[in-house]
Structure 1
Amino acid sequence: MTTNWQPPTIPAPPAPEPPSRSWFARHKILTAILAFVAVMVLAQAVNGGDDPAPAAVTKPAASASPDAPPEESEQPAATEEPAEPKEPAQPEEPARTAKLGSAVRDGQFEFTVTKVQAGVAKVGSDMFGEKAQGQFVLVHVTVENIGDEAQYFSDSNQKVQDAKGREFSADTGAALYVDDNDVFLNEINPGNTVKGVLVYDMPKNTRPASIELHDSAFSGGVTVRLG
């Protein structure tokens, strides 16, 4: 018997698969971008060592509002004021001193000493009078009220000094025996004038040097030279 023998059929090997493309090949645009970035980073790294360090930037101070008070550091330094020129020394007020016969004023009174008598042993009459312990000194004075209201004149406010600076008070009791004497505690109206005698009991051989006249016990007084 004839047998048709055929050699076994050998299957053809499968066709090789095409090689798979890499990730970079499949993403060409993204790969290009990454490559550009890498190049820029590398270039900046290379050039960065040569560039000088950037200077520090000072932040500008915030501007103060118009109503805010300036800080102490912004206040101008205090300047020393120039010393004020000293006023020239005023001349001293001349002493309130006058000579015999001159009119002088103190307060509301104007005084004029018209005469001085020294060495008087007794005042008054033989029946009514008073003897001096030493000597009586009689000071004749005119007193005018130059004020605008009545003012009392008292002989006790008038003092006499001798050359040694000793002060003597008026002898009011002896003054009462002097005729027509109006200077004992007399009230003088504005514009009126009285005349009288101030009596002082002083040691013998002592001369009065001056008299200090006052319109009251608290006034400044004015001095009249009697020598």
Structure 2
Amino acid sequence: MTTTTSNVGIGRPVRDGKFEFIVHSWDGATASLTITNIGDRPNSVAVSAQYLFDTQGRRFEPEFDWTSDLAFADLNPGQSVSGTLTYVLSGATPAHLELHDSIFSGGVEVSLR
């Protein structure tokens, strides 16, 4: 089941599908977060499906960082991974992250404001 909530902010756990996300911090371009597999099967992290939306409703994908622990992360049930997602915003004003357990899930919003 997918949950979409726009009233959840930094430091609060949110769930989408088989992943629980906690965004620990936001510095204006980079989000620090932890992803935990809350399901009963292995699941891979899809970094490119972790979107940022600005105040105009435009969607941004994170820069891919080959050295990040999030890149290519395959999580067994109960396993977690922490890392960062960096977005190039070119003057855009960030509004929220939309985090997904896969490219096909509905996602869950985390407010950055």
Per the normalisation by structure 1, the TM-score is: 0.46
For structure 1, which runs of at least 5 residues remain unmatched after alignment? Answer: 1-93, 119-136
The alpha-carbon deviation at position 212 of structure 1 amounts to 0.2
Match of 1:169 in 2: 61
Query: What CA RMSD, in Å, does the superposition of the two structures yield over aligned residues?
Result: 1.5
For structure 2, which runs of at least 5 residues remain unmatched after alignment? Answer: none
Is the counterpart of residue 155 in structure 1 residue 64 in structure 2? no
Secondary structure of the structure 2 residue equivalent to 1:164: coil
Please tell me the residue identity of whatever aligns with 1:102. R
The alpha-carbon deviation at position 95 of structure 1 amounts to 4.9
Structure 2: how far apart are the matches of 1:101 and 1:189? Answer: 23
Which of 91, 95, 99 is the matching residue for 1:213? 99
Secondary structure of the structure 2 residue equivalent to 1:201: coil
The alpha-carbon deviation at position 199 of structure 1 amounts to 1.3
Match of 1:96 in 2: 5
Structure 1: how far apart are the matches of 2:89 and 2:35? Answer: 23
Match of 2:69 in 1: 182
Which of 84, 90, 106 is the matching residue for 2:16? 106
Which of 68, 71, 78 is the matching residue for 1:191? 78
| 1:169-217 Cα distance to aligned partner (Å, 9 max, x none) | 1111xx235xxx211121011001110101111113x331100000001
Higher strand share: 2
Q: Aligned in 2, Cα 1:160/1:188: closer, same or farther, shift over 3 Å?
A: same
Structure 1: how far apart are the matches of 2:102 and 2:70? Answer: 13
Secondary structure of the structure 1 residue equivalent to 2:11: coil
Structure 2: how far apart are the matches of 1:167 and 1:219? Answer: 16
Please tell me the residue identity of whatever aligns with 2:5. R
Structure 1: how far apart are the matches of 2:45 and 2:90? Answer: 26
Number of equivalent positions: 110
Higher helix share: 1
| 1:84-135 Cα distance to aligned partner (Å, 9 max, x none) | xxxxxxxxxx9522111110000110000011122xxxxxxxxxxxxxxxxx
Asked whether the 8 Å contact 2:4–2:106 carries over to 1, the reply is no
